[in-house]
Structure 1
Amino acid sequence: MNNTYTVNGKMISRSEHEYLVVDPVELVRRIDEILKQPDITLLKEQVISLRTVLQSASTDSETPARDFPPLKLKPLMEEIRQILDAYTYERARYYVQRLQKGLTEIKTSTLNDVNLRRWKNYDEIITDSLWTIDRRDGSGAHLGWYWGNYIPQIPHQLMLRYTKQDELVVDPFLGSGTTLIECRRLGRHGLGVELNPATIDRARQLIEDEANPHNVVTRAVAGDSRTFDFGTLVRDAGFEAVDLYLMHPPYHDIIQFTADQNDLSNANSTDEFLRMFGEVLDNTLPLLRKGRFVGIVIGDKYSQGEWIPLGFYCLQEATKRGLSLKSIVVKNFDQTKGKRRQKALWRYRALVGGFYVFKHEYILILRKPE
C-alpha cells in the first residue's frame, strides 16, 4: 500500500507526524507572559524558552480537537523565527500578538474550515491551477480496482476547499465509491448514485471497509442520475440541500462501462453525450444551495482525426444552466495500462497523425449564483 505521493513536486504523505501535541492552555499562558515583557531583550529570551519547549514536544499525525486550532511544527517555528529576527520591540511584539491571535481565534470563510488565522498550516491544500500528481493515493479502502475512476486526491482537495465538516457532498457518477471514502475521512456526509448495480455492490463494500471516525452518513445507491429522485435521497438522509456536487462522467465512449443504453459511455454521438450529461445537470442542480459549488472532472477525446474538446463542451452545458465558472484546473492524466505498454506505438501514431497524446484532464469548478 502506497500512501505517499507528490503534488507539483512536493511530497505529501498520509502518515506524516506533523501536528504538535501541546497543552493549549499552557501555550497561551506562555504567550501572554511574553507580551508582558517590557523590552525586546526580555521578550526574546521568553520566545527562545518557548521555542525550546515546542521543539521537544511530541507530534501526532491526527488533527487535534476542533476546539483548538491545529499546530504544525514548521509554520510555528517560522513565526517564532520572525519574532526573533525583529529589530524593534514594537515589531517583535506585533508578531507575538499575531501568533496569539492564531492560537486563540478561529477565522473561517463561508466555504470551508480553513482557519485563516493559521493559513500557513494548510500546505497540503493545492491553490495552483496546474496539478501534477505522480500517483494515486492507495491508502485505506482506495484500491484502484475500477477502470476509469478518478484519483482520491481530487475529491479530497475539492472537499477541503469547498465544504465544511458535516456538510453534504453528492456524486451522481459514483463508480467505485472514491468520493464517499473521502467523505468518511474528512467528516463530510456523502451520497452517491451509480448506474451499474454490480459496481455499486463492490463500492458499498469498500466504503464500509473505510473507518468512519466522524460518524457521517454515506449511502451508495443504484440508479440513472438523469432521472433518479435525488430530492428523496437527500431528504431521507436528513438534509434539505446539497453543499457540493462532484461529477466524474465518462469521457464519452473512451471507456464503455456497461452495455446499458442509459450509460453516457454508450451515447451515439458527441451531441447525444452532451444532451445526456445536461439531463444529469438538470436533475441535480435544483438541490444545490445557492452560492455553493460543482466540481466536474472531464477529459477530451480524439476521434476520426479530430480533437473533441469534451471538457469545454461540458463547461458550456453547465454555464447554460446558470452556473458561473470559478476555476479550471488542469491535471496530469495517468495513462491506462494498455497505453503504457504501447507508449512507442502511440508516439508513432501521434507523429503520423499530427496530434498530441493525451496527458491531461480538467477539473471545472463552477458556482451556483446567490
Structure 2
Amino acid sequence: MEKTTIWSFPDRGEWATHSGKYRGNWSPYVPRNLLLKYSKEGDWVLDQFVGSGTSLVEAKLLNRNAIGVDINTNALLLSENNLKFESDSKSRIVLKEGTAENLDFIKDNSIDMICTHPPYADIIKYSSGILGDISLLKYDDFLASMNKVASEANRVLKKNRICAFMIGDIREHGYVRPLGMDAMQIFIDNGFKLKEIIIKEQHNCRSTAYWERKKRSFYLLAHEYIFVLEKISER
C-alpha cells in the first residue's frame, strides 16, 4: 500500500495474467492500491473503460464484484481471456459492450466504487472508426464526451462513495494542454468533491526513445494524475 501522493512503479507487475502488451493499460499496482483503500470485499466496482481488464483482474483477486464496460469488442475478448485464471475468489465479474457515456443497464446508486483509466483524447487510438470510441476524439470533443461520462458516473455511484481515475496531460506543437486538470474539473462540476490528487511517475512509455533522439525545447511529460473523488450530490 502506498502512503503518499507520489506513486512510482518501475516494475510493470506481471502476477496473474497481467502484462504490458496492451498499449496504454495501467500498471496493476494502481487499481490494487485504489481497491484496497476505497472498497471492501463483496463491493461492486465499475470500470467503464475496461480495456484489457487490469482492474477486473485485480477485483477478482481481491474478492470484489466488478462490471467492465468497453465499446471495443476486441478489448472485451481480451479482458475475458485475461480473467480466465484459477482463483479461490467468489467474485462475480460482468463484461458488457457499451459506452461510458450511457450506462443505462446499470441502476441508479448501485455501484460501490468506480476505478477506471480513460484514454487521453486521441493520443492512442484504440479503433479505426468505432462509432462512440472517445479515443478518436480531439481535445475539446473529448472533454465534451467526458462530461457525459462524469454525469453517468454520478448517476450509478452510491452517494459518498469513490470514483478514481487516472489520466495524463498531452502536448500539442510543443505546448502542454492540461487534459488531466480539465477532466478533473468536469467531474467536480458533476457532483464530485476532490479527495486526492496523486502524481504517478510514468515508466516504459513507447514514445520516450523517439523524443530522446530529437532536439527539443520542452521537457518530456513523465507524470500522470490519479484523481480520487467522492460523490457528494446528485447530478
- Smaller-chain TM-score bracket: over 0.9
Instruction: Report the residue type matching 2:43 in the other structure.
Output: E
1:162 Cα deviation after fit = 0.3
Alpha-carbon RMSD across the aligned residues, in angstroms, is 1.6
Q: Distance in 2 between matches of 1:230 and 1:282?
A: 15
Q: Distance in 2 between matches of 1:263 and 1:334?
A: 26
The 10-residue stretch of structure 1 (257-266 or 273-282) with the greater mean CA deviation from structure 2: 257-266
Q: Which residue number corresponds to residue 300 of structure 1?
A: 169
Instruction: Report the residue type matching 1:344 in the other structure.
Output: E
Which blocks of at least 5 consecutive residues in structure 1 are unaligned?
1-124, 235-239
Q: Distance in 1 between matches of 2:124 and 2:157?
A: 29
Q: Which residue number corresponds to residue 232 of structure 2?
A: 369
Choose the corresponding residue for 1:314, options 165, 179, 183: 183
Instruction: Report the residue type matching 1:266 in the other structure.
Output: L
Instruction: Report the residue type matching 2:93 in the other structure.
Output: T
Q: Which residue number corresponds to residue 242 of structure 1?
A: 111
Q: Which residue number corresponds to residue 213 of structure 1?
A: 88
Contact 1:184–1:213 (CA<8 Å) still a contact in 2? no
- Aligned to 1:231, what secondary structure does the other structure show? coil
- TM, length-normalised to structure 1: 0.60
- Aligned to 1:363, what secondary structure does the other structure show? strand
Choose the corresponding residue for 2:23, options 147, 151, 157: 147
1:146-172 CA-to-partner distances (Å, cap 9, x unmatched) read: 111111011100001001111110000
1:18-56 CA-to-partner distances (Å, cap 9, x unmatched) read: xxxxxxxxxxxxxxxxxxxxxxxxxxxxxxxxxxxxxxx
Choose the corresponding residue for 1:223, options 76, 79, 98: 98
Higher strand share goes to which structure?
2
Q: Distance in 2 between matches of 1:303 and 1:338?
A: 14
Query: Within 5 A, what are the aligned runs for 1:1-370?
Result: 125-209=1-85, 211-231=86-106, 241-258=110-127, 259-267=129-137, 269-340=138-209, 342=210, 344-346=212-214, 348-349=215-216, 353=217, 355-369=218-232
1:283 Cα deviation after fit = 1.9
Q: Distance in 1 between matches of 2:176 and 2:211?
A: 19
Q: Which structure carries more relative contact order (alpha carbon 8 Å, separation 6+)?
A: 2
- Aligned to 1:337, what secondary structure does the other structure show? coil
Instruction: Report the residue type matching 2:182 in the other structure.
Output: Y
1:343 Cα deviation after fit = 5.2
Q: Distance in 2 between matches of 1:369 and 1:200?
A: 31
1:336 Cα deviation after fit = 2.5
Contact 1:166–1:187 (CA<8 Å) still a contact in 2? yes
- Aligned to 1:131, what secondary structure does the other structure show? strand
Contact 1:323–1:369 (CA<8 Å) still a contact in 2? yes
Q: Which residue number corresponds to residue 9 of structure 1?
A: none
Q: Distance in 1 between matches of 2:94 and 2:70?
A: 11
Q: Distance in 2 between matches of 1:334 and 1:230?
A: 36
1:143 Cα deviation after fit = 2.3
Which blocks of at least 5 consecutive residues in structure 2 are unaligned?
none
1:247 Cα deviation after fit = 2.1
Instruction: Report the residue type matching 2:87 in the other structure.
Output: N
- Aligned to 2:186, what secondary structure does the other structure show? helix
1:200-220 CA-to-partner distances (Å, cap 9, x unmatched) read: 1121011122x3312110111
1:140 Cα deviation after fit = 1.2
How many equivalent residue pairs?
A: 232
